[in-house]
Structures are given as structure tokens and as C-alpha cells.
């Protein structure tokens, strides 16, 4: 958020309002290049919220309001309780009331949590506000109003027991919430990987001192070579056929780790393959499997349900555009505004033809 003083801002706006005349000195060297930004322009883009809450918009929202917003905007990816591991790593879990007291998440040491959740890591509540405001929801970033962001954040924090169920989070009390963040004391900058000035000179870290000290030994550097890890047999083909990922000439060849694929044999892409690729590209496959339910129904289930119905193509396209909830359970499907009409048509036709891979 801008640190620009209000007086200077007003002066600049006045200058900008008359014409985009370059103010003295600043632009002298490269005349005619660039112009002052208007106050409205800065406001439109300068949305960051720093850990010290510089840039935090005023507003408020309750946990209850957050529940409803969460169902609509967040649950399809993150699960109703922020616990889902289907699309992204879980947001919530692995923190305790004791962690809230100490500010250190113990499961990071013990390894007792199967996943490192967001709430286990994030030290600063402002980071969560900033990120939700700038990047969420996934397919419609920056569409949340400040009060909605407060409410969603309140619900998320409630899921981790940072705030009680009847809490109203606001710009007035968010500093108190910071004092309950489970991993607020969990960060260190005592390392050599900050590329600027060290802490002692107003920067961060130890000034670039590395934490490993190998030496360039050339002869008889160790007695024996101990192989401590290798790729197990079952994982040999997990990355496809390596023969097709190497050049067909040269000093080596790639190892055959599977059947030669049709794609490697050339030929043009079929309509089905193109639609499958599109479904991947547009994020459909994150929630729908070809033959299985993930968050939403599998394409096979959709086909089975609607097959033969009149005008089903148009209806399904409308459903994709508007989003929906209820037909397949409580988790709503958000509106797919990022997919073009002709692409929606291509996807629906593909589903209705059995969602084939080739």
C-alpha cells in the first residue's frame, strides 16, 4: 500500500487533472516517457496488505457469513471445512490450541500431520487477507468485496480454532487475531539466502554466509560409495515411456519404460483428444473424472443421467456457464466464466459422446 502522503497525493491529482504534464525533475532524463499515475489508478491496483497491516481496507465479517460465502466460492476446491486434499493441499489441520499459545506449530517438528497445511505454516494473518483478496476465488479472482474477505477469513480462522464461532473479524480486531496465529513465531531469516543487505544493515539474514562447506577433494575422497536411495521398480514407468522422451540419435537412447504411445507415432489429434486436453486446460479434470466422481460427478455419471433428454446440449452448456448446486450433492459447481461458448459446446459434446480419450 502506498506510503504517499495525502498532501502530495492531492497535489499530484490536481496536476494530473489539468493535464498529464510531467512534474519537475523526475522525468527529465527521458522526456516524453511515462506519466504520473492518478489517485484512482493507484487505488485500483495497490491492493497489497503488509504483515503490519499497512494497506488493510476497513470492513468486517462474521464466521456465520463466512460459512455461506465459503459454500459458494471456496468449498468446491478446498472442501466444506478447508480439509480437502483433492485439488489443493489442505488449508486447515495439524495445529493445536497449544500451538496458538506458543506460536510454534509442534507437528512441524514431530511430523504428526500427514500434510503441511496452510494454517500450519502461515505466520501472518495479513498474508491470508492479502491473498484471498487478490487471488480468490480460483476462477474469479478479485471479485470479493472487503467485507466478504473478512467473513471468509473469519470462517477459515474458526476452522483452526483461532477465533470462536461467534466471532466478527474486522480491521479493528485483526491485530489481536495475529497474536493467536499458530505459527506466528515459526519463521527465521537467519540464513544466507537473502540477496540484499544483512539484518545488521537494515536488511534480512546473515549477509550471504552459506550453511554447507564442501571442499573440492580430488583423490581418495572417501573409502566407499554408499547408495542410499534409488527409484523402486514400481515407479519406473510412472513418468511414461522414457524412450519417447529422448532423442532418437546421439550417444544414448531413452529406456523403454512402457508401450510406445499413439501420440509418439504422430498423426493428427482426434476431436476427443482435443476435448480431453481442453478439459484439462480449463480445470474441469480437477473436480470431474472421466469414469469417476472426484468433487463433482464423473463424465460417465453425467452421460448416464442425461442421455437421450431433449435439448440436453443447450441445457448443460447453460449449467456450466451459470454454475449449479444440488443435483449432485451439496458442493456447488462455480460458474465457469473463463471458458468460451464454443469451448463449452466442444466439452459438452465430448461428454455426451462418452468422454473418450482418443
Partner 1 sequence: MANSEFRLGRIQPAPENFLTDEQIQSVKEGRRDFLRKAFLGASAAMMAPAVARAAGEGDPAILNLPSWTTSLGLPVATHPYGLPSKYERGLVRRESPGLTRVGGSSVSFTPLQGLFGIVTPSGLHFERHHQGWHDIDPSQHRLMINGMVKTNSVFTMDDLMRLPSVSRIHFIECGANTGMEWGNVAVPTVQYSHGMLSCSEFTGVPLKAILDMCGADYKKGRFILAEGADGSSMTRTIPMEMVESGEVLVAYGMNGEMLRPENGYPLRLVVPGVQGVSWVKWLRRIEVGDKPWGAKDEAVHYIDLMPDGQHRQYSSVQECKSVITTPSGGQILLDKGFYNVSGMAWSGRGKITRVDVSTDGGINWRQARLETPVLSKAVTRFNIDWVWDGKPAILQSRAVDDTGFVQPGYGQLRAARGTKSIYHNNAIQSWKVVESGEVSNVQVL
For partner 1, the binding residues in 288-347 under the rule CB under 8 A are: none
Closest by CA to 92, choosing from 120, 65, 70, is 120
Site membership for partner 1, residue 121 (CB under 8 A): yes
- Report 56-115 residues binding partner 1 (CB under 8 A): 86-88, 104-106, 108-109, 111
Instruction: Supply φ then ψ for residue 288, to 5 degrees.
Output: -125, 125
C-alpha cell at 302: 453425467
356 binds partner 1 (CB under 8 A): no
User: Is the peptide bond preceding residue 343 cis, with omega within 30 degrees of 0?
Assistant: no
DSSP assignment of 118-151:
HHHH---HHHHHHHHHHH-STTSTT---HHHHHH
One residue of 66, 205, 297, 334 binding partner 1 per CB under 8 A = 205
Q: Is the Cβ–Cβ distance between 106 and 99 less than 8 Å? A: yes
Show contacts with partner 1 in window 185-204 (CB under 8 A). 186-197, 202-204
CA 45 from chain center: how many Å? Answer: 20
User: Strand 168-170 and strand 60-62: pairing?
Assistant: antiparallel
Given 17, 21, 50, 329, the residue binding partner 1 (CB under 8 A): 50
Stretch that binds partner 1, among 20-28, 310-318, 320-328, 341-349 (CB under 8 A): 20-28
Our CB check for partner 1 shows the closer of 291 and 318 to be 291
CA–CA separation, 158 and 293 (whole Å): 29
Q: Other C-beta atoms within 10 Å of 190: how many?
A: 11
Stretch in the footprint of partner 1 (CB under 8 A) among 130-138, 146-154, 268-276, 320-328: 130-138
Residue of 14, 19, 164, 250 that binds partner 1 (CB under 8 A): 250
At closest approach, how far in Å is the CB of 128 from partner 1? 8
**Does residue number 268 form part of the binding site for partner 1 (CB under 8 A)?**
no
146 touches partner 1 (CB under 8 A): no
**Of positions 97, 101, 210, 274, contacts partner 1 by CB under 8 A:** 210
Nearer to partner 1, 265 or 326 (CB): 265
Residue 247, interface with partner 1 (CB under 8 A)? yes
What is the four-CA torsion angle of 177, 180, 182, 187, rounded to 10 degrees? 80
Least separation in angstroms between CB 310 and partner 1: 34
Amino acid at each position: 500500500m502506498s506510503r504517499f502522503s495525502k498532501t502530495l497525493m492531492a497535489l499530484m491529482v490536481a496536476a494530473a487533472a489539468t493535464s498529464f504534464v510531467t512534474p519537475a525533475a523526475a522525468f527529465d532524463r527521458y522526456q516524453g516517457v511515462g506519466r504520473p499515475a492518478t489517485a484512482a489508478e493507484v487505488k485500483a491496483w495497490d491492493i497489497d496488505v503488509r504483515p503490519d497491516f499497512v494497506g488493510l481496507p476497513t470492513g468486517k465479517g462474521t464466521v456465520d457469513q463466512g460459512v455461506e460465502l465459503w459454500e459458494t466460492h471456496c468449498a468446491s476446491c478446498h472442501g466444506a471445512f478447508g480439509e480437502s486434499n483433492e485439488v489443493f493441499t489442505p488449508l486447515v489441520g495439524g495445529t493445536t490450541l497449544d500451538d496458538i499459545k506458543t506460536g510454534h506449530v509442534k507437528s512441524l517438528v514431530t511430523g504428526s500431520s500427514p500434510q503441511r497445511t496452510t494454517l500450519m505454516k502461515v505466520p501472518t494473518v495479513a498474508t491470508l487477507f492479502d491473498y484471498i483478496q487478490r487471488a480468490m476465488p480460483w476462477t474469479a479472482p478479485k471479485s470479493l468485496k472487503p467485507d466478504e474477505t473478512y467473513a471468509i477469513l473469519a470462517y477459515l480462522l474458526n476452522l483452526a480454532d483461532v477465533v470462536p464461532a461467534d466471532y466478527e473479524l474486522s480491521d479493528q480486531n485483526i491485530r489481536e487475531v495475529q497474536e493467536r496465529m499458530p505459527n506466528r513465531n515459526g519463521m527465521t531469516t537467519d540464513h544466507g539466502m537473502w540477496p540484499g543487505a544483512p539484518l545488521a544493515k537494515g536488511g534480512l539474514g546473515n549477509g550471504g554466509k552459506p550453511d554447507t562447506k564442501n571442499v573440492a577433494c580430488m583423490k581418495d575422497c572417501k573409502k566407499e560409495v554408499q547408495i542410499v536411495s534409488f527409484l523402486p521398480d514400481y515407479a519406473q514407468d510412472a513418468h511414461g515411456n522414457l524412450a519417447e522422451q529422448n532423442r532418437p540419435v546421439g550417444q544414448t537412447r531413452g529406456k523403454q519404460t512402457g508401450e510406445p504411445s499413439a501420440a509418439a507415432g504422430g498423426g493428427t489429434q482426434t476431436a476427443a483428444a482435443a476435448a480431453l486436453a481442453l478439459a484439462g486446460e480449463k480445470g474441469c479434470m480437477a473436480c470431474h473424472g472421466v469414469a469417476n466422481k472426484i468433487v463433482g460427478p464423473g463424465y460417465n455419471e453425467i452421460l448416464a443421467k442425461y442421455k437421450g433428454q431433449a435439448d440436453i446440449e443447450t441445457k448443460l452448456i447453460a449449467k456450466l456457464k451459470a454454475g449449479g448446486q444440488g443435483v449432485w450433492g451439496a458442493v456447488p459447481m462455480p460458474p465457469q466464466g473463463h471458458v468460451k461458448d464454443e469451448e463449452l459446446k466442444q466439452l459438452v459434446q465430448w461428454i455426451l459422446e462418452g468422454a473418450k480419450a482418443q
